[in-house]
Structures are given as structure tokens and as C-alpha cells.
Amino acid sequence: MRVRACSRARRPRPLSTKPVAGATTFAHRSHWARRVISASVTLFIVSCANFAGPPEVSPALIANARPDHVNAKELATGRHLFVSRCLECHTLPSVTKHSPGEWPHLVSRMSNRANLSADERNAIVAYLRAASIN
């Protein structure tokens, strides 16, 4: 019994005997397929051109973080955590999408989801607060 079931599983599935879509609708379909492909290619090119990534830890960004008493090392840690842990479920939000005042609350809301420790959460908040000022 087992052997038979196994050999049956390995056999390729027979090709569908269903008739292919009628010739009249085929031209229509390939027209749409072409439109979808060209739209996807365009979107891909546009999104690549627009993707700048979150800002690097620059002297200006370090200056922004001075009132929070955050140093360059912690900002770099925050940026690294942000780019690696905040796109597991959605695309990386733009750092300027929210204000320095909004980020702490948002990151708190996300930190359970992203399994962040308190230190990791603080580093991400510090980076986002400094980066969102620009």
C-alpha cells in the first residue's frame, strides 16, 4: 500500500484535458498581460529611482540628537535595527512620515510585534527622532 502511494505521488500530474481558452478571448488576454507587465516594469523602475533609503548617521543627524543626549554609536545602532527589524511585515516607513513627537509612541506600538528589547526600542526611537527633523 505504502509503496503504491509513494510511486503514485512521484508520477507527474497529468496535463489538464480542459480546453484552452477560446481563440477569440486569447488576443484580449495577451493584450492585458502586456499592459500589466509594462505597468509592473514601470513601477519597478520608478520605485528604484525614488528609493533613497533612510538617511545615514551624518554630522547633522548627530547634532539633531544632541538634545536627547544620544551619541553617534547609538544612532548607528538605531538605524541598523530600524532597517533590519521594521520591514518584516511592511515596507520601511519613511523617517519623515512622522514627527519626532510621534515616533516614540509608534515605535512602542511596534516593539512588541518586532520583539524589541527596551534598549533596541530606545535606539530606534533616538535614530527616528533625529532623522525626522530634517
Residues that bind ligand HEC (CB under 6 A): 85-86, 88-90, 93, 97, 106-107, 110-111, 113-114, 116, 124
Closest to ligand HEC by CB, 34 vs 113, is 113
Tell the smallest beta-carbon distance from residue 59 to ligand HEC (Å). Answer: 24
CB 93 within 8 Å of CB 85: no
Closest to ligand HEC by CB, 64 vs 129, is 129
Closest to ligand HEC by CB, 124 vs 126, is 124
Closest CA to 63 of 55, 119, 51: 55
Encoded amino acid at 91, one letter: T
Tell the smallest beta-carbon distance from residue 47 to ligand HEC (Å). Answer: 18
Q: Per-residue DSSP letters for 70-120? A: --HHHHHHHHHHHHHHTTSSSPPPPTTSS-TTTHHHHHHHHHTTTT--HHH
Closest to ligand HEC by CB, 99 vs 134, is 99
Tell the smallest beta-carbon distance from residue 48 to ligand HEC (Å). Answer: 22
